[in-house]
Structure 1
Amino acid sequence: MAADSAILHVDMDAFFASVELRRRPELRGRPMIVAGGERGVVLSATYEARAFGVRSAMPMGRARRMCPAAVVVPPDHAAYRAASVEIMKIFRDFTPLVAPLSVDEAFLDVAGARALFGSPPRIAAAIRRRGAAEQDLTCSVGVAPSMFVAKIASTRCKPDGLAVVPPDQVLAYLHPLPTGALWGVGPRAEAVLTRLGLRTIGDIAGTPVDTLRRALGDAAGAHLHRLAWGIDERQVDPGGTDVTIGAERTFPTDVGDPAVLARELLRLSGRVAAQLRHRGRTARTISVKVRFADFRTITRSRTLRDSTDVSQTIYATSVGLVADLGLLGVHRASGGGPPPGAEDTMVRLLGVRASNLGEAGPRQLLLGERPEGWTELERVADRARARFGAAAVGPASLIGQRGSGGQRGSGGPPGAGGNGAARA
């Protein structure tokens, strides 16, 4: 943990919705939802809509029932990417140590910026002023000695807030908070902790680490115990911030046709690969996500021997994973097997995600020897799409096919077909 509070976590407020309000000022003060179609999920919502219980990633049917008066607007991911670029430029005007977590949030280490810009809280206030003045967007900023405390602080001061946690007040700040506030405590871990009678971060800190290890596993138990004592030794790393890159689509109507599912996997794999190349990254682990008509959701993943940024490799892996679920007309049994009745189950949403990321190294053009030999050709296609549009170059099987309706992803270069990650 740093000697003082020089780590900032900046989180834009209702980012997608706020970008939409810049060009729809008449909607300010009204409940508004950004969503990819009536069958999709909520990508963002104004705080007026949140007052009715609407939340990011909520199915639109439920959001409509909660807030029938909400105005629903389609997403414009190019606009969100452009706004993100400008926001990140503001951050980097204060420090080169900027680690984006997504299009609308980032960690900053401003320890070396004091001589130019003053104390970390003054820098945080200046960032908030510039975001509002230059981009007409508000943000919430947590200032703390460590990354995880800064993130907790920004979350708890939303919207449009600034929270400073001095080093000597970290434990006093953390320990009264609920266990779910800890980074890494999801619903399942929270349920386990509750069964142990642990309801606050202070309760976790006061529990023997061996007890936590037995309940949560060695790594998770030890990790949460350290966080509960305010111990987080990670540093802001501008070069190592991508965790996953993915894209998904909610179909306008439920799909059971294997050919349609395979085409969509091809489309999504291309988007993920293009985004990997755009960021100079490769991935070793490929995951698929399948949501059925009854909202039951299954994920499967496979780790490759070699990392890749090639759509052909990502597609082949994702097809294998979906085939293992019995959804492509062929069931290739692998750990866990298909869900009961999978062959007869209609698919509502399909997603492809890449993780276990690393830096892309130099490649040789080795066509016919390894799939990765196609990287340079795909980069040529990326440039063609960027110049002439997304339809300029692509797989023959996707000619005439349109990827409209309820799409969602982690962002991408112009023409790559990716779109911004769903954010609150």
Structure 2
Amino acid sequence: MERAIVHMDLDTFFVSCARLQNPELNGIPLIVGGGERGVVASCSYEARYFGVRSAMPMRMAMQLCPQAKIIKGDMEMFSNKSHEVTQIIEEKAPLVEKASIDEFYLDITGMDKFHGSYKWTNELSQTITKETGLPLTFALSVNKTVSKIATGEGKQKGNLEIPQSMVQPFLNPLSIRKIPMVGEVTFNLLSRLGIRNIEKLSQTPTEVLQSLIGKNGLELWKKANGIDNTPVEPYTERKSLSTEHTYLQDTIDIKQVESLILGMVEKLAYQARFEQWLVSTVVIKIRYANFDTETVQKKITYTSCDHILAKIALELFKKLYNRRMRIRMVGLSFTGLVRGTYQINMFEDTEEMIALYQAMDKIKNRFGYDAVTRCGGRNLKSKAGNIISNPKAQNINRKDEK
């Protein structure tokens, strides 16, 4: 049986949400972001006409489109609207994966026996737009890679259906940039060898690709040939990220405890970014030598940046620890999670700060978590253990609420 995988993408999601809240923003160049030295989180098609793009430095965006109106993002509203869409899809689709705050994969394999798969998907998309006011684009194909690429093409051509017989003719003329795993470095490397479209890439021997870009060479060749067996993973909303450390000997060394907390923050924040979560509540827990346990929490603006979260965590610890008694255990939790990435939600941070996080995470992803850490939390490995090399391979003491 031929698989039927749908990719749905809410169009200019942040912009669409803002326009629902304020109709006066309709039809004008609009940029969601903040700060002269920040970056563009999202922009309207009117702004894109002038060359503005997501993740572009704000100062460059304003040079390209000085007449654009700039607004700050409201992550709580974005999260609520995303949840509305999720509920509608989950009520109707047999298997749903929420890939990000504005992207969904649906596995509707076999539904063509009872409905036309494309017709059913089109009716679902119309229902979503009618009930939430949010426009979206979708594509239906045989796997996640082809449907995602087709959704991107559908932004200009309309919703697409790419059956197995049309996969290669559809992919062949497209730029290799359209393949999700091809970044700037890989594109430049392949371009120097004359490999610029997917057809050329699909015909390149796998041995050549593996010698050029390592183990990902085979995966890239498969995607260029429309091969992707990745399943649609059922969507379950994570409630929290948390970690705890119990000392072998009760301690009153406050500097050591603060260093431990900094290390915990850095690890959980990295996991949040890796899994594309934003945090709205920080919780600190202390268990004293007599087993009394106390907690304190604080609601914050959505973020996954450890320099912000670390400051809040230390403030909470200082507020909570007032008994001058030896500490047996320290715990840290991030709750109130919403889908999103730090690159597009750090409305107040500079492009330099964002670039720093991107560089650090890239190093961690490639060489392991301990390849680069902040000085403040360096003794975490010896003091607390629970070191992760990759959040996909080893989670940090997840204690999700049921």
Q: What interval of TM-score do these two structures reach, taking the shorter chain for normalisation?
A: 0.5 to 0.7
Where does residue 187 of structure 2 map in the other structure? 190
* 1:162-173 correspondence runs (5 A): 162-173=159-170
CA distance in 1, matches of 2:152, 2:354: 32
Q: Tell me: CA distance 1:24–1:240, structure 2 relative to 1, closer, same or farther (3 Å).
A: closer
Q: CA deviation at 1:127?
A: 2.0
Question: 2:123 aligns to what SS in structure 1?
Answer: helix
Where does residue 274 of structure 1 map in the other structure? 334
Amino acid at match of 1:231: I
Amino acid at match of 1:199: R
Where does residue 132 of structure 1 map in the other structure? 129
Q: CA deviation at 1:302?
A: 5.4
1:127-181 superposed Cα distances (whole Å, 9 cap, x missing partner): 2211221111110101100110000000111169301101111111111111111
Where does residue 299 of structure 1 map in the other structure? 360
CA distance in 2, matches of 1:160, 1:268: 48
1:51-97 superposed Cα distances (whole Å, 9 cap, x missing partner): 11111111211111111111111111111111111111221122131
8 A Cα contact 2:11 2:136, kept in partner: yes
CA distance in 2, matches of 1:94, 1:294: 38
- For the pair 1:199 / 2:199, whether they are aligned, the reply is no
1:28-60 superposed Cα distances (whole Å, 9 cap, x missing partner): 110111113333211111111111111111121
Amino acid at match of 1:144: S
Q: CA deviation at 1:358?
A: 7.0
Q: Tell me: CA distance 1:268–1:115, structure 2 relative to 1, closer, same or farther (3 Å).
A: farther
Q: CA deviation at 1:354?
A: 10
- For the pair 1:145 / 2:145, whether they are aligned, the reply is no
* 1:69-80 correspondence runs (5 A): 69-80=67-78
8 A Cα contact 1:138 1:160, kept in partner: no
CA distance in 2, matches of 1:36, 1:119: 44
Question: 2:63 aligns to what SS in structure 1?
Answer: helix
Q: Tell me: CA distance 1:290–1:358, structure 2 relative to 1, closer, same or farther (3 Å).
A: farther
Amino acid at match of 2:207: D
CA distance in 2, matches of 1:294, 1:181: 24
CA distance in 2, matches of 1:68, 1:263: 31
1:165-199 superposed Cα distances (whole Å, 9 cap, x missing partner): 01111111111111111121111111111111111
- Residue 154 of structure 1: which of 144, 151, 157 is its match? 151
CA distance in 2, matches of 1:202, 1:112: 30
Amino acid at match of 1:155: G
8 A Cα contact 2:98 2:235, kept in partner: no
Where does residue 253 of structure 2 map in the other structure? none
CA distance in 2, matches of 1:71, 1:291: 20
CA distance in 1, matches of 2:149, 2:170: 10
Q: What's the C-alpha RMSD, in Å, of the aligned pairs?
A: 3.9
Where does residue 237 of structure 1 map in the other structure? 233
Where does residue 350 of structure 1 map in the other structure? none
Q: Tell me: CA distance 1:78–1:240, structure 2 relative to 1, closer, same or farther (3 Å).
A: closer
8 A Cα contact 1:171 1:230, kept in partner: yes
Q: CA deviation at 1:13?
A: 0.2
Structure 1 residues not aligned, in runs of 5+:
249-260, 280-288, 304-313, 333-352, 361-370, 384-424
Amino acid at match of 1:68: P
Where does residue 99 of structure 1 map in the other structure? 97
Amino acid at match of 1:356: P
Q: Tell me: CA distance 1:190–1:160, structure 2 relative to 1, closer, same or farther (3 Å).
A: closer
8 A Cα contact 2:106 2:232, kept in partner: yes
TM-score by length of structure 2 reads 0.66
TM-score by length of structure 1 reads 0.63
Q: Tell me: CA distance 1:159–1:179, structure 2 relative to 1, closer, same or farther (3 Å).
A: closer
* 1:12-411 correspondence runs (5 A): 12-114=10-112, 118-158=115-155, 161-217=158-214, 219-239=215-235, 244-246=275-277, 264-267=309-312, 273-275=333-335, 292=352, 298-300=359-361, 321-323=373-375, 356-357=391-392
Q: Which structure: greater helix fraction? A: 2
1:293-318 superposed Cα distances (whole Å, 9 cap, x missing partner): 79666315659xxxxxxxxxx9xx89
CA distance in 2, matches of 1:240, 1:212: 36
Q: Tell me: CA distance 1:241–1:232, structure 2 relative to 1, closer, same or farther (3 Å).
A: farther
Q: CA deviation at 1:274?
A: 1.8
CA distance in 1, matches of 2:116, 2:76: 35
CA distance in 2, matches of 1:52, 1:156: 20
Q: How many residues align?
A: 305
